[in-house]
Structure 1
Amino acid sequence: MRIAVTAALTDETITPVRLAKELEERGFDGLWVPEHTHIPVERATPFPYADENGEVARWYGRLIDPFVALAQASAVTSRLHLGIGVLLLAQHDPIVVAKQAASLDHVTGGRFSLGVGFGWNKEEAADHGVEWSSRRDLVLDRMRLMRALWADEPTEYKGVYGSVRASVAYPKPVRGGSPRTMLGGAAGPKLFSHIVEYGDGWLPLKGADLRETLPVLRTAWEEAGRDPEALQVVPYAVDPTPERMAVFAELGIEEVVLLMPADEESGMLRALDDFARYLH
């Protein structure tokens, strides 16, 4: 089983360069980083992972841009896989993201994974001009536009929310078609339809309830005519225990992303020491 970590890298934590070097030297498979552009102080949206005082964790408003962090990490590694978990695509210009993602995939030699998510913070999304109720449809439209830019030949796309002319757009993703694309979000027909259309697989948060949800996704995947062997399910932000990891192995999971504490450098390195027991 491949073991990666996700870390909230901020101006107060270990640097992307130091962490990436440590991960590669210790034998970890990958580094994933989250994204929030900002966290408005005015908040009507309940925070799903509040602290004991009901407050948003400090790191949410201090995150380093994921493309910047992973570009740094890529420059000092040769093997480590690098992913965004997850990019809030509704809040971005898809033409720019298509360029950023393909460029990072190119300079890393195909070591990049684009995790796509829909967000939880209505105020953050509103500042980006996103209508909350339509954000999933917006993400779908933007993925279709991005895939047109990644196509081998200039391809026009006219969507509900955006369009692009047939264009020369290089570099292309290393494997062709798209970078490895994984979706985050809660299990359900809407999410699974997105995964089936444009994803390589799912990042189930904490890996919870996979005994029930994984067969549903596999059925949807196969009914869409996609190769059953190609589906990738990667439990994400997992607090590992031997028992939990054994369940993943039983379910045929080949890759897990463990959750690092948003701590100062010494605390994050201690977490890597603890995680070493799961490396094989």
Structure 2
Amino acid sequence: MKVGVFATFMSPQATPKMIMDFGRRAENAGLESIWMGEHVALFDKNTYGYPGSKDGRIPVPEGGGMLDVTATFGFLAAATTKLRLGTGVALVPQRNPIYTAKEMCTLDWLSDGRIDFGIGVGWNKEEVEACGYRWEDRGKRCDEFLEVMRRLWTEPVVDFSGKWVKFATLRMDPKPIQKPHVPIIVGGYADAAFARAVKFGAGWYGFNLDPARAKTMLDKLDTAFAKAGRKRDSAYEIIITPPMNMAPDHVKQYADLGVHRLIPNLGSQRPDKIDQRLPEIENVVKLAA
């Protein structure tokens, strides 16, 4: 089982030097990948709370904000040589699909095939609407946008006529290094998310799941595969970010579930906290070997 790290870089701590040093330290520590969350804007009041915290708020430092994932991954790709870089997750329904396809295939090209495109529909209603889209149809829009991107990555010339996207004789080059295209890793726990994972995914990503809950979600994923007349094979990647307080013996439990990649959360990006947390994650690498 491979081990990476989830690190949503936030200002003011995430300076260029901090990001470069962290990327190199992660690579030298034997970590396989860095995954980064995405939010282009935050709001003082939200219709729905952030599911990853007890108070429903994203823990952003005072006066700070989340860095853009595309620009940050371009920076990290230049600072490292082996680390894979995964979006955890890119909020596809609020992104322009043509720009997103271009960004991801360019990142894949410049990183020599080290990009994983983790995707989800998002929880922040205000953010979706501020980006110019409707909240209620984000799932169906996500599926159409993924189809657009998949075709742009694999076909020399594309004509497309959907509900949200229409164009003719469109060319997009260079194509991704990875074949058939940048891997799509689908996140989410709703039935629609599992169906999306079966249709589009090279894998599924679960966040903040202990082994028991991970098993429950994998059972739902297998049900979705069965409904599609398919069976999940060993090449289909299961990627899990465990809770921050993961017990050491849980590493084997994740492995026994068939988890391919375990992505512990870095947490705080204060230098002293990183110095404390990275050895803990290095120990996970040893336990997973």
Shift of 1:156: 1.3
Of 178, 200, 210 in structure 2, the residue corresponding to residue 198 of structure 1 is: 200
Alignment pair present for 1:210 and 2:214: yes
Structure 2: distance between partners of 1:104 and 1:226 = 31
Partner AA of 2:205 in structure 1: L
Of 169, 176, 179 in structure 2, the residue corresponding to residue 176 of structure 1 is: 179
Distance 1:159 1:165, change over 3 A: same
**1:215-259 Cα distance to aligned partner (Å, 9 max, x none):** 332343364446612211111254232132121011121211110
Alignment pair present for 1:244 and 2:247: no
Partner AA of 1:67 in structure 2: T
Partner AA of 1:6 in structure 2: F
- Give 1:248-267 correspondences, 5 Å limit: 248-267=254-273
TM-score (norm 2): 0.89
* Contact 1:4–1:31 (Cα < 8 Å) also in 2: yes
Q: Which residue of 2 aligns with 1:5?
A: 5
Structure 2: distance between partners of 1:67 and 1:178 = 17
Structure 2: distance between partners of 1:227 and 1:245 = 22
SS at match of 1:156: strand
SS at match of 1:133: coil
**1:38-83 Cα distance to aligned partner (Å, 9 max, x none):** 112233333334456x644225961110011111111011111111
Partner AA of 1:57 in structure 2: P
Distance 1:185 1:167, change over 3 A: same
| Paired positions, count | 278
Q: Which residue of 1 aligns with 2:274?
A: 268
Structure 1: distance between partners of 2:191 and 2:45 = 32
Shift of 1:185: 1.1
Structure 2: distance between partners of 1:198 and 1:59 = 35
Task: State the superposition RMSD in angstroms.
Answer: 2.0
* Contact 1:51–1:57 (Cα < 8 Å) also in 2: no
**1:102-133 Cα distance to aligned partner (Å, 9 max, x none):** 01011111110011011111111111122111
* Contact 1:152–1:176 (Cα < 8 Å) also in 2: no
Q: Which residue of 2 aligns with 1:30?
A: 33
Partner AA of 2:4 in structure 1: A
Q: Which residue of 1 aligns with 2:94?
A: 91
Shift of 1:155: 2.0
TM-score (norm 1): 0.92
Structure 1: distance between partners of 2:178 and 2:280 = 34
Structure 1: distance between partners of 2:203 and 2:169 = 28
Distance 1:215 1:56, change over 3 A: closer
Give the percent of matched residue pairs that are identical in Structure 1 and Structure 2: 23
Structure 2 stretches lacking a partner, 5+ long: none
Of 57, 60, 71 in structure 2, the residue corresponding to residue 58 of structure 1 is: 60
Alignment pair present for 1:113 and 2:116: yes
Q: Which residue of 1 aligns with 2:237?
A: 232
Structure 2: distance between partners of 1:56 and 1:153 = 41
Q: Which residue of 2 aligns with 1:45?
A: 48
* Contact 2:73–2:85 (Cα < 8 Å) also in 1: yes
Structure 2: distance between partners of 1:38 and 1:176 = 33
**1:171-192 Cα distance to aligned partner (Å, 9 max, x none):** 1122233201111111x32111
Of 180, 188, 191 in structure 2, the residue corresponding to residue 189 of structure 1 is: 191
SS at match of 1:73: helix
Shift of 1:136: 0.7
